[in-house]
Structure 1
Amino acid sequence: MAKYDLEAIEADYRADLLSNRAISTKHGCSEASIRKWALKFGWQKDLSGKVKQATKAKLTKAVAETTPKAKEREPNTKLTDEEIVEEASNAAVDVITSHRTRTAEYQGIVRIYGSKLREQLDKGKLKVLAPNGDPIEIDIPLEYIGKCLNSATQSLERLIKLERQAYNLDDQQDSSYEDDLEAISEGL
């Protein structure tokens, strides 16, 4: 039987930042084991509110770029509630900061496509290669460009949604958290 760092697993469970599946992957155990240990040891997902508060505070204060990384610790050493909240909120800030970076990159791509589209619209024609390899001019395929932009937008939206689900960053009952993040991201 494998030896697991139950203190670290408990900390991840209590922080409620990762799904049980993500915790099991991170620590190399099964989801069933996590559920059994939670029941056996009385673990509660009792720090998620504090993690979200700490995350909000860090994002609001714009310290995401200077957030300290988790300190090294010995396996099976007990973490304080404050240490669990600190590590989990740092991870959440990293995810949100990554989303901001990708969103800014994507906005740059959209601007380039918008500029190219504007050039094409101004010309009214688009040069493409015919099946025989000769360049020809055709009317602008706006549907194609629209479909490309739509696909890119949907892909980014899905990626962010999946990551946010994996880190349990969205809380259906706490819409103020999502509203705050939306307001912050509008400032990009």
Structure 2
Amino acid sequence: MTIKQPDWEAIERAYRAGALSIRTIADRNRVSDTAIRKKAKALGWARDLSEQVRKEVRNKLVRGEVRDDQCANPERDAEIIEEAAEEGATVVRSHRRDIRKAANLANLLMDDLLTTIKRREEIEDAITEETADDESGFRRGSMLAAVALPSNAKTLFQLSSAMKNLQVLERTAFGLDDKEQSKDSDELSQLMDELSKDA
């Protein structure tokens, strides 16, 4: 039985792109991270394209173009950047869709809460009528508590917190709060690791 050799060209591309940690690259290619480190050192691979990958991800998201005049092998580097940027852009687009769905759901829940508050007296009368024949007041008490002011206030607080979090996520996903990013390639690697765990 022959053992399949690692695809060192694909490993080099992922390594140089800097979008994934060495451990993740190793896991995906069924090789040890130590072997990758040794190979990278022996062949002089550098994780030198992560900043360009970040730029290209942003460019893809706004349909821009990337220019790079500083690469030792521009064609090959451009391929690596394109590949990593496409993966990053796909992830961000997916997050944008998910955030929009969650925001729409939070808005629907907020509308339901508003309707409940506006119609509280009507709902309370309906509950009283529905539970008139109950021997114990437990069901009536539970139903009235669900539409009472403290319950509504708690729901409002939870929805407000959810919407606040969604707004932060949305602003991040659309790059509206773009702060100066670190040039350290580990930042992007860490992000891509977390995303690959969720996938």
Q: Report if TM-score (shorter chain) is over 0.5.
A: yes
**Quick check: which one's helix share is greater?**
2
Equivalent residues in 2 for 1:66-85, closer than 5 Å = 80-85=76-81
Q: Supply the RMSD in Å over aligned alpha carbons.
A: 3.7
Is 1:136–2:146 an aligned residue pair?
Answer: no
The residue number in structure 2 matching 1:179 is: none
The residue number in structure 2 matching 1:113 is: 109
The residue number in structure 2 matching 1:34 is: 36
**Quick check: which one's strand share is greater?**
1
What is the distance in 2 between the residues matched to 1:24 and 1:153? Answer: 38
The structure number with the bigger radius of gyration is 2
Structure 1 pair 111–155 and aligned structure 2 pair: CA distance change class (3 A): closer
Structure 1 pair 30–104 and aligned structure 2 pair: CA distance change class (3 A): same
What is the distance in 2 between the residues matched to 1:4 and 1:156? Answer: 43
Q: Which structure 2 segments of 5+ residues have no match?
A: 66-74, 173-178, 184-199
1:52 pairs, out of 43, 51, 54, with: 54
Q: Which structure 1 segments of 5+ residues have no match?
A: 64-78, 162-169, 175-188
Equivalent residues in 2 for 1:138-157, closer than 5 Å = 138=145, 139-140=148-149, 141=151, 142-144=153-155, 146-147=157-158, 150=161
Shift of 1:104: 0.9
What is the distance in 1 between the residues matched to 2:23 and 2:168? Answer: 22
Letter in 1 for 2:79: E
Tell which deviates more after alignment, 117-126 or 80-89.
117-126
Percent identical pairs in the alignment equals 25
What is the distance in 1 between the residues matched to 2:8 and 2:182? Answer: 30
Count of residue correspondences:
149
